[in-house]
Structure 1
Amino acid sequence: MKRIFFCLFAVLCLSATVNAQSKYDDSPNNTAFFGEFGGPGILFSANLDKRFTQSRFGIGGRVGLGFVTSEFSNYNGSYYDYKTQSVVTIPVQLNYIFGKPNSSHGLEIGIGGTYIGKKVDVFSMLDNQEGTQFYGTFSFKYRRVPVNGGFTWNVGFSPLLAKGIIVPFAGVGFGYAF
């Protein structure tokens, strides 16, 4: 899973470098910055989404920075000590947005991974262990991207995969396309 995460991250970095060195200007709306509740960032994340083409639709990727809060317990001999812990998350995804050229409506389908700074029991069915944690992520979302840029939003289904368990999850994001 670590190899997949780092390969996706490398592809995103290389594509941004290739697009920055192109001889033509970017068309409106092939880049978006948005905050998302739920989704691949688990609790909250700030994301940069970039199309690898000169269009609002087609193949692209996203990378984000977020956080998740989890409660954990330690047995101190005679009682359980419950503590809350906040941990950084880094969601990375490759995605494809389907849509018609003159429409602001799109369907996003994506696959990727989320790195969590420490292994925390985000979902009660998973084991709490020390070390780092990776979740596989998927996205099936409706995305609204205005034709000439501006306010954008998305909403949809973003299941998470961890330790062979698929956890149904949802996400909603709001941001700006440019």
Structure 2
Amino acid sequence: MKKIYLLGITLLLMAATSVSFAQQFNYAKARAVKMDLKAPMDLKLPKAETTGPRAQNVFVELGGQGLLFTVNYDTRFGNRRDGLGGRAGIGYLAVDGEHVTTIPLSLNYLLGKGRSFFEIGLGATVVTAGSDDDSIIFDENGGNVVGTMSFAYRLQPVDKGFSLRAGFTPVFNGDFFVPYYAGVSLGYTF
């Protein structure tokens, strides 16, 4: 059953990416038709407002890839507002003498332009805990690595300002798969 979920998610990601590239290519092709046919054709995509200084975010997240409550940093790897990027964070929760620390690390890709983006991500969260042996998430040593995915909407200002993320973040490891886990975050883009 886990393999079917992972196969379905992979196919969904491939379809979303191919649709985006096809739309960009058709736009460039339509621009080329309007040009003088005797002049060399320029099929470069126009620079949209997604270019400029790379987007960087600092945010707090409830649920999501950090599993609990985390503080995170997210950045793009190029000088664009969209495209490939990564995030890292840390979370800590202590209740009745038990404690849990989470460290989410992931790669993500933003599709969109302007202020609205669709985020697709894949990562891992390192989880360490107190001596709670009854947990289904932690192994007998009190620690575990949990795989995470992200399918989220991100509202991010073009320049600077507050940002918002919300979406599904399926979590999995060798013992379980939770496809409907979700998260929401609020932060600041600079």
TM, length-normalised to structure 2: 0.65
CA deviations 1:89-133 (Å, max 9, x no partner) are: 100000000012xx2000000000000123776996446522421
Question: Within 5 Å, which residues of 2 pair with 1:1-178?
Answer: 27-28=52-53, 30-68=55-93, 85-100=98-113, 103-118=114-129, 125-126=136-137, 128-167=139-178, 168-178=180-190
Matched-pair contact (CA < 8 Å) for 1:117–1:133 = yes
Structure 1 runs of 4+ aligned residues shifted over 6 Å read: 119-123
Structure (1 or 2) with the greater helix fraction = 2
Give CA deviations for 1:22-79 in whole Å, capped at 9, x if unaligned: xxxx944610000000001111000000100111100000000112457xxxxxxxxx
- Taking a change above 3 Å as real, the CA distance of residues 159 and 92 of structure 1, as seen in their structure-2 partners, is same
**Distance change (3 Å), C-alpha of 1:114 and 1:127:** closer
Cα distance in 2 for partners of 1:143, 1:92 equals 18
CA gap 1:122/1:88 in 2 versus in 1, 3 angstroms = farther
- Give the secondary structure class of the aligned counterpart of 1:96: strand
Contact 2:132-2:142 at 8 Å conserved across structures: no
Task: Check whether the contact 2:102–2:128 (CA below 8 A) recurs between aligned residues.
Answer: yes
| Matched-pair identity in % | 40
Q: 1:119 to 1:84 in 2, by over 3 A?
A: closer
More strand by share: 1
- Which amino acid letter does the alignment assign opposite residue 49 of structure 1? D
> Hey, what's the Cα distance between the residues in 2 that align with 1:29 and 1:114?
25
Letter in 1 for 2:189: A
Structure showing greater Rg: 2
Q: 1:27 to 1:123 in 2, by over 3 A?
A: farther
Other structure's SS at 1:134 match: strand
Gaps of 5+ in 1: 1-25, 71-82
Greater relative contact order (Cα 8 A, min sep 6): structure 1 or 2?
A: 1
How big is the shift at 1:88? 1.2
Change in CA separation of 1:173 and 1:163 when aligned onto 2, cut-off 3 Å? same
Give unpaired runs (5+ residues) of structure 2: 1-50
2-structure distance, mates of 1:175, 1:67: 18
Under a length normalisation based on structure 1, what TM-score does the superposition of the two structures give?
A: 0.70
